[in-house]
Amino acid sequence: MADELYIKRCLELAILGSGNVSPNPMVGCVIVTDGIIIGEGYHEKIGEAHAEVNAIKAVFAKYGETEAALLLKKATAYVSLEPCAHFGKTPPCADLLIKHQVKRVVIGNKDPFDAVDGKGISKLKNAGIAVESGLLDKESAHLNRRFFTRIKQQRPYIILKWANTANGYFAPVDDMQKWISGPLAKRLVHKWRTEEDAVIVGKRTALIDNPQLNARIWPGRNPIRIVIDRNLEIPTTHHIYNNEAKTIIFNEIKTDVIDNIHFIQMEDMSFYLPQKIAFQLYLMDIQSVIIDGGAQLLNQFIEAGLWDEARVFTSKISWSGGIPAPKINKPLAAQHQVGNDQLSIYHNNQEV
């Protein structure tokens, strides 16, 4: 039970890195000696120190060099994901644990990344350190479902998001902008944007709504904005062309970079568009994306089975007509009240 509690603490720490470490995984580390936590840390930012490094630094900061060295030799290091075994932007964390001669390491998940994938565990065991792995495996995998999806399926974790009326309409047919969900739902959507790498909309949504696609009403970084505009019909005066965030425009005309706007040419966007988008984003190290409309784009991803999670707001208002909302043929995973709207969550893979 104590081991589980410490791994749960690792997961609590790990999630503090949400939105700041992609395409790396979120990782937390807790170091315990004689039943007392002597140091803890998490991976705070891409390219900077990993969780194990920060936890060990915390031990030395608290106890001083001599006492810290002695405490670490008797310690168990708990870490939510297998310590890395390779030189990337930082040195291997497995080597660091070996250097400080920790007695035991308890791991939530093995790391599926090729450069790690059991190699960290092997390094630790070969150095005479006792290792246990797979503790709270399911919870640890859920935390890093975006990372696992990118590594195992070579695509980003894909979140579908939309709002519909009580009687199932998605948007008006007359190209007028009409809000469906309320202010609390809007605020929650901006929070989600800080947690994911990118947000995608189709041309029609960009033209009619002129969205900013940023996180202006929630603290955090803006996502990469992605727009599907086959013939580059969206005026450059629209918000997506401002300098608030990196913007990718998938089109059939040109590949170019102008300031923060990246034009990426695709061949024949009429066929296999979701698959082409997903693979292109994988190549660009984009680990997670929200598909934010319109209905046609959302339906294409649904029909391709290329999604992981759907977040659907249902308003109390009804319309006399409109464009029908997409439909998800999966069991309801969760439901929440958000102001006057009901948020329904669906998973494409029930193990997630």
Task: State yes or no: is 52 an active-site residue.
Answer: yes
Helix (H, G, I), strand (E, B) or coil at 91: coil
Q: Hey, what are 111's tokens? A: 């790391």
CB 333 within 8 A of CB 311: no
In the sheet that holds 247-251, the strands lie side by side as 256-258, 261-265, 247-251, 224-228, 198-202, 288-291, 157-164, 309-314, 341-347, 332-338
Contact 107, 131 (CB under 8 A): yes
Q: Return the exposure string of 13-29: e unless at least 16 CB atoms fall within 10 Å of the residue's CB, then b.
A: bbbebebbbbbbbbbbb
Tokens of 82: 């297998």
Tell me which of 52, 82, 196, 309 is the catalytic residue: 52
- Helix then strand then coil, in percent of the chain rounded to 5, is 30, 25, 45
Quote the DSSP letter at residue 350. Answer: T
Identity of the residue numbered 163: A
Q: Pick the closest to residue 81 from 119, 45, 133, 37 (CA basis).
A: 133
Cα(212)–Cα(218) distance, integer angstroms: 14
Strand partners, 37: 32
Separation between Cα atoms, residue 274 and residue 195, nearest integer Å:
22
The answer to whether the bond into 183 is cis (omega within 30° of 0) is no
Q: Is the dihedral of CA 163, 167, 169, 173 positive or negative?
A: negative
Q: Which helix (H) or strand (E) holds 262?
A: strand 261-265
Enzyme catalytic residues: 52
